[in-house]
Structure 1
Amino acid sequence: MMLIGNLRHRPVRRLVQLFGGLLLYGASMALMVRSELGLNPWDVFHQGVSRLTGLSMGTVVIAVGLLVLLAWIPLRQRPGIGTLANAVVVGLAVDLTLALLPPVEPLAAQIALLTAGIVGNGMATALYLGARLGPGPRDGLMTGFTARRPGRSLRLVRTVMEVVVLAVGALLGGKLGVGTIAYALAIGPLAQFFLPRFDVPEPHPGTTTPRIETAPTA
């Protein structure tokens, strides 16, 4: 599969932004784990698999990301540099943060961790997407399924995928809770708020002049 993501335009900023975003993404996931108040659907699945297999959560995140990438092949999706980095760096950041951050017990501290985790996740999403070096493995799977049948709703595909991984993760012992609901309600608006601030405009074809795009409204 050919890699997507042209690094000729502002390479230093884009690479720093990409890896900074991925490290923050993994750290924010770990904050939500330590809050014990619930995780987003994919992390409920990751945690459930971790408890079933005895593998660290970060290792599971990496393994699932690589397996999802294999599903890109029949869907004819092309990974970017950011796609491959996402599959590895996020999991490493999860394990490192969990190793450094002990569990907390006071509810106020748990709420603070949950809030920081959700806000950090929204910012991290905007950072790595704004670098324009390829979507994450799970996002590419979603767009690949949608592209196979023109007219299929992207929102419907995403909803079905997240309901499935949430249900399987819950059956395996992953943590659902108020954080799961809070994440679902907040992540879209947060990502939309941060993305215009971190988006790296693409240059016009054949020039180095950035093309300014408006932020998405939905």
Structure 2
Amino acid sequence: MDHAAAFAMMRLPERLVRLIVGLFLYGFTVAMMVESTLGLDPWDVFHEGLAKQVPLSFGQVVIVVGALVLLLWIPLRQKPGIGTILNVLLIGLAADLGIAVIDQPDSIWLRGLLLVGGVVGNGFAGALYIGAQLGPGPRDGLWLGLVRRTGRSVRFWRTVIEVTVLVVGFLLGGTVGLGTVLYAVTIGPIVQIFLPLVRIDLTEGKLPQRVPD
């Protein structure tokens, strides 16, 4: 095992904790946006719309869709990490828990605060689990695989996928609104702000030196 791999293994417990906390927080902040009723990101518009058409909860739909998207990795020859598998399971569970405990506010101002808190918290949570470097989520891995296999740009594939799920989700009854626009405009900069603060560096650490006998 080389130095970098050994150092990465030494930090594995810390990485797992950050991954699990980040994924749980991600799901909970999605629930905040759902309960604001002011609009969701494209994938969650799709999840919400689908949940209105099938006898499954929002979180259960998130899990099922994540698992189906993961199957699309096979022809793309993408390899999941432990973070990928936990992403499929934990975000949906946390979202259902959040929806169960968060009451939908009557006031538009409180709903607005819930939305903003959800978007900012979602960006922090995303940076936290990305920074653990234990594998991308199934949806991100899909466009990463398509970029690698086709040579088309990240922007092209993300746009194609997210516009598709947004339109289908809207047609199924998912909520598109101010929150959809706010998320699209701000989530990238929010993640970019938080990622350097929470990313675990796996290249600069030094292994402890053995004390001579």
Q: TM-score, with normalisation over the residues of structure 1? A: 0.90
Query: Looking at CA atoms only, which structure, 1 or 2, has the larger radius of gyration?
Result: 2
Amino acid at match of 1:80: G
Structure 1 distance, partners of 2:108, 2:41, is 19
Q: What's 2:144 paired with? A: 143
1:9-43 deviations in Å (ceiling 9; x for gaps): 31221111000000000000000000010000000
Amino acid at match of 1:74: P
Q: Which has the higher helix share?
A: 2
Determine if the alignment matches structure 1 residue 168 to structure 2 residue 144.
no
Amino acid at match of 2:38: L
Structure 2 distance, partners of 1:71, 1:208, is 39
Gaps of 5+ in 2: 209-213
1:54 Cα offset (Å): 2.8
1:149 Cα offset (Å): 1.7
CA contact (8 A) 1:45 1:170 kept: yes
Determine if the alignment matches structure 1 residue 188 to structure 2 residue 188.
yes
1:97-127 deviations in Å (ceiling 9; x for gaps): 1111121110011001000000001001100
Determine if the alignment matches structure 1 residue 24 to structure 2 residue 25.
yes
Structure 2 distance, partners of 1:145, 1:195, is 24
Q: TM-score, with normalisation over the residues of structure 2? A: 0.92
Q: What percent identity do the matched residue pairs reach?
A: 52
Structure 1 distance, partners of 2:14, 2:75, is 33
Structure 1 distance, partners of 2:158, 2:107, is 34
Structure 1 distance, partners of 2:42, 2:15, is 28
Q: What's 1:111 paired with? A: 112
Q: Give aligned pairs, total.
A: 203
CA contact (8 A) 1:9 1:203 kept: no
Q: What's 1:130 paired with? A: 131
Q: What's 1:90 paired with? A: 91
Q: What's 1:45 paired with? A: 46
Instruction: Provide the aligned C-alpha RMSD in A.
Output: 1.6
Question: 102-111 or 125-134: which moved more?
Answer: 102-111
1:204 Cα offset (Å): 5.9
Structure 2 distance, partners of 1:174, 1:75, is 29
Q: What's 2:211 paired with? A: none
CA contact (8 A) 1:23 1:89 kept: yes
Q: What's 1:213 paired with? A: none
Q: Show structure 1 runs of 4+ deviating over 6 A.
A: none
Amino acid at match of 2:180: T
Amino acid at match of 2:202: E
Amino acid at match of 1:91: G
Structure 1 distance, partners of 2:35, 2:25, is 15
Structure 1 distance, partners of 2:144, 2:10, is 25
